[in-house]
Amino acid sequence: MSGRKNRASVTADLEEDFFKAADDGDEERVKECLDKGVDVNARSNSSWGRTALHMAAEGGHVHIAKLLIAKKAAVNTKDDTCETPLHIAASQGGYPMVQLLASTAGVDVLAKNEDGKTALELSGTDQMIRRVLQKRQQDQRQSELMARTGGVKMKRRIKVFVVGHGKVGKTTLIKALERILPLKELLKRDVTQPYVPTPGIEVEIVRIPGVGEASVWDFAGQTQFYVTHAMLLDAKNTIYIVNYKSTDEPDVQKGQIHQWLCSIKACNADPNNRPDVVLVASHGDMLKEKDGGRRRAENILREMSGMFKTHLNIADEVVVMDCRKSKTSEMTQLKKCLHNLHGALLQKQQDMPMLCAEIIKRVPDWCKSKCSPKSPVMDWDTYRRAVKEFNPAVEENFLQKSTEHLHDQAEVILVRTGGSSSDSIVILKPSWLGKDVFGPTLAPENFPERLTRTAEDLVLKDEICRVFQGKSDPELVITLLQKFQLCHSYNGKEFIFPSLLTQEMPTDAWLSTGDPTTLYFGKAWRCRDLTDMFSSDFFPRVQTLLMTKMSNRPILWKGGAKCFDSDVEALVQMTGEGRTVYICTRSVEGDRERCHHMMHILEKLVVGVLQESSPGTDAIQLILSARALKEHRDNLLKYAYTAEEVKVAKAESVSLVNRAGGYSEKVIDVMCKTSRHRSPSRVSDPVTIPDWDRRPRGISMTSSQSGSPTSIGVVGRDNVIVVAGAGASVNLSGAAGVSMSGSSAADDDSVAGSQNWQDEVFTAMTTDRQYSEEQHAEPMSPTTQKTVVEGDDNTVVTAGDGSFVSVRTSGDGQDMEPVEKAEASASKDVVDLLDPMSIELD
């Protein structure tokens, strides 16, 4: 009975104090509120239905989160956007918070928000966070599958991926390992014999004498294929052989090896797996100085092993050989190394979930009996029926998870062609995709079977049909190429393949506007160190998504793109060495809001592709100097700021000092969005930049004649304050239950702490809900909501529960001193209605 009284005595104000204490990281106040009976799992009515644990997660307050968890806080509670505290921590809370929540018993790391995103998919480019979440996801998925069906020991063959540049001897090495060519043919090195390159990826199941059974993948060395190699380069139970030519110049050898090691690291999605790598130098018989060649190989091995020691397990074997010969001491050395790595991989293999094991057993038969002879592909309905033949009780969701597990193991490839699992297709033989689809599609001119492009770098549908007719279903091929984000068509007849573009950046693509009032903003993502690189498919996929997502057709060129919306232009560009990507936005009309939305959409797209394509790459986000952008300086990274530098300058209200450029800039000059008001990590942006006349239902705002904005501190209960520029008029249209009043400014003493108080002020009493710019979603109750909406020199502020709201406008960018509640009543003394407020019920 006493517990009920205690619960009944908990007021809304006490709960709000509890939420604020968790948000502020105030442990004593949190304890005090809990002692007074506040429910540890209470949900805020004003902050998207979040709990105190959500708020602690957002602020990175680990000590508060530990306290709440100890008090039985629910770690999987979802807010109004279906985000758990782990979602919030992954996107905003930092590594220590993610580590705490991810290791908490019962946490669901596979939980999805309303956009279908897991915490991992919201985690940005922080590799420490991504490693924790990737490991926990793998463990949880494996655990769930094993708990349902149990596991079986399954002797699976290992994979051997042979990579290297063109003409280094990869195919010859593989045949010598298999010992399948006659000795005389192997020994023949006929320079007049035509070179027959590998198309895409060739896969063979072989038994290597002295090693064991393996699936050997021969990756073509031509650069055109690198974009698809990156999609298939990550796999479990794999040994990588990096093949290079011992007769090349030392710098060439080192550069090629470094590139492939970076690629292997970039594509490694398992943070706890150090892929096994063997370096093999070919053409040893052609070395004029055998000892010199071996010393160079030793030096390269030593340097690369030191550089990648925390990322790759590079075998400590110096192998310089004639790849044509099967019975040499060097071949024996290589096979012994492969044998040891093979045994170690088999020892580490985990039990396979029962359903997955049964599917693997049946794949060869399905390829013959349930697939087209041309394509080892099954649509989801056919695949599900095939599984139900031996497991009639299998549930849809469980089959989906099992297939995702097989996809993770590179046993099959699951391709989603729509929004649900029923729209998926399953590729039963990944090798078919690599050789028979990707091979002819991307083959360069010296390949007999390839797609011919027009002078405008377009591939016609008729050309795709010509190449694939009789071998594969052309429509299926087109679907796969589009789903793998390799191409896009605006009319269904002409296809653009970004990875095959040859045009350079147009000279007039990003010229100076000549207008000093043009606003410039920019961000960059740079690889952290020399072991990092963006995978080869990263930027072509970005370009493909720009074509599919932006309403205005972008201009594309090799390594770059230009996007448009109204007066806002955006440049998305890769550097020549492929280790930095830039996003720059600008507006001749000084439209900060549109620049912000364009930047947000592009940033979300770029970071999303980076996460998917380069899970092992560690990238640093940098904020570009607005002045350097406006002056079109070379080497923009030289003048860039770290995110931490901007954060500190903003917190301390000081300017950014640009030592490289010898000047200073305000934070507001380099950040197109500086509001400190928080929003859910899920932001549902429209594809195009929204105009103010495309508003959600609820409250609307229009303005005429921009003026000089001001900064103001306001206090009120359920108030909407609109600060308009001098001479401007503002109209508010509210939802049902909203009453409006308008008035002009009083003197400087009317509102304590205001600056340059010459502008018009309108107040509106709200009892229902208002528009939240940061959500672009359903309006909410303003009871305790604090929201800032910026547009044409106007600021709308909603203040609830009598608390102070500090407003940063697009004017001088200064924050006001807090206004005491007792002083706030003066703001109601404003008089003289300037412009009528109209109420429109939705």
Task: Report d(CA 685, CA 694) in Å as an integer.
Answer: 12
* pLDDT, average across residues 767-781: 31
CB atoms under 10 Å from CB of 284, counted, come to 22
Residue 439 burial by Cβ neighbours in a 10 Å radius (0-12, 13-18, 19+): buried
Residues facing 713 on adjacent strands: 806
List 152's β-bridge partners, or say none. 352
At 96 the three-state DSSP class reads helix
Instruction: For 813-832, write each residue's pLDDT tens digit.
Output: 333 333 333 233 323 322 22
Q: Which residues contact 369 (CB under 8 A, 6 or more apart)?
A: none
Over residues 584-600, the pLDDT tens digits come to 999 999 999 999 999 99
Question: What is the reported pLDDT for 184?
Answer: 53
Instruction: Tell me what the mean pLDDT of segment 210-238 comes to.
Output: 89
- Cα 527 vs. chain centroid, distance in angstroms? 15
Instruction: Give the residue among 531, 583, 576 at the shortest CA–CA distance from 554.
Output: 583
Q: What is the per-residue pLDDT for 401?
A: 84
* Per-residue model confidence (pLDDT) at position 232: 86
Using CA atoms, how far residue 428 sits from 461, 471, 537, 701, in Å, is: 26, 17, 23, 55
| Contact between residue 811 and residue 724 where contact means Cβ atoms under 8 Å apart | no
Which tokens go with 750? 């009317």
Q: Pairing state of beta strands 276-282 and 319-320?
A: parallel
* Cα 360 to Cα 152: distance, rounded to the nearest angstrom: 12
765: closest CA among 837, 672, 670? Answer: 837
The stretch 615-636 carries a mean pLDDT of 94
Instruction: Give the whole-angstrom CA distance, residue 187 versus residue 191.
Output: 12
Backbone phi and psi for residue 839, each to the nearest 5 degrees, phi listed first: -105, 125
Burial class (CB in 10 A: 0-12, 13-18, 19+), 582: buried
Cα 630 → chain centroid = 28
Which pLDDT tens digit goes with each residue over 103-121? Answer: 898 999 999 998 888 998 8
Using a pLDDT cut of 70, give the percent of the chain over it: 75
Return the SS3 of 293.
helix
pLDDT in tens, 462-515: 999 999 988 899 999 999 999 999 999 999 999 999 999 999 999 999 999 989
CA 529 to each of CA 71, 580, 622: distance values in angstroms, whole numbers, following the listed order: 42, 11, 15
pLDDT of 805 reads 38
Any idea which residue has 């463990």 for tokens? 139
β-pair partners for 642: 622
* 10-19, 194-203, 668-677: which is most confident: 10-19
More confident residue, 674 or 665: 665
User: In the beta sheet, which residues pair with residue 100?
Assistant: none
Residue 592 is predicted with a pLDDT of: 92
Find tokens 């690629």 and name the residue.
Answer: 263
Give me the pLDDT at residue 152, please.
Answer: 75
**Pairing of β 555-557 and β 158-163:** unpaired
Alpha carbon distance 790, 701 (integer Å): 10
Q: How confident is the model at residue 154 (pLDDT cuts 50, 70, 90)?
A: low
Q: State the Cα–Cα distance between residues 495 and 519, nearest whole angstrom.
A: 35
Lowest mean pLDDT among 143-157, 294-308, 452-466, 795-809: 795-809
Q: Please give the average per-residue pLDDT across 226-245, as a whole number.
A: 90
Question: What whole-number distance in Å separates Cα of residue 246 and Cα of residue 252?
Answer: 10
Each residue's pLDDT tens digit, 32-45: 999 989 999 999 88
Q: Tell me the pLDDT tens digit for each residue of 673-731.
A: 644 334 444 333 333 323 322 222 222 333 333 333 333 333 333 344 444 333 333 33
Neighbours of 658 (CB within 10 A): 19
- For the chain, which domains are there? 2-149 (1.25.40.20), 158-348 (3.40.50.300), 359-499 (no CATH), 519-670 (3.30.310.200), 700-829 (no CATH)
Is the model more confident about 552 or about 197? 552
Confidence of residue 568 (pLDDT cuts 50, 70, 90): very high
* pLDDT of 163 higher than 90: yes
Q: What are phi and psi of 552, to 5 degrees?
A: -95, 130
Cα torsion angle, 645, 523, 687, 464, sign: negative
Selected residue with higher pLDDT from 798 and 623:
623
Give the H/E segment covering residue 259.
Answer: helix 250-267
- Is residue 806's pLDDT more than 80? no
Give the mean pLDDT of 178-194. Answer: 55
The pLDDT, as a whole number, for residue 418 is 65
Amino acid at site 134: Q
Query: Of 379-388, 407-416, 755-764, where does the model show the most confidence?
Result: 379-388
Concatenated DSSP letters of 564-601 = EETTEEEEEEE-TTSSEEEEEEEETT--HHHHHHHHHH
Among 177-191, 430-444, 827-841, the least confident range: 827-841
Tokens coding 823: 């002083």
Tell me the DSSP string of 442-477: H--TTSSS-PPP-TTSEEEHHHHHHHHTTTS-HHHH
Rg of the Cα atoms in the chain: 31
Whether pLDDT at 132 is above 90: no
Instruction: Give the mean model confidence (pLDDT) for residues 222-236.
Output: 87
Q: How far apart are CA 155 and CA 216, in angstroms?
A: 17
CA pair distance 119, 133, nearest whole angstrom: 8
Most confident of the ranges 158-172, 339-353, 400-414: 158-172
Q: Name the least confident of 110-114, 193-197, 275-279, 764-768.
A: 764-768
pLDDT greater than 50 at residue 122 = yes
The tokens for 92 are 């905003």
Q: 759 versus 380: which is more confidently predicted?
A: 380
Residue 291, H or E segment: helix 290-307
Mean pLDDT for the chain? Answer: 78
pLDDT band at 196 (very low <50, low <70, confident <90, very high): low
Q: What integer is the mean pLDDT of 45-63?
A: 90
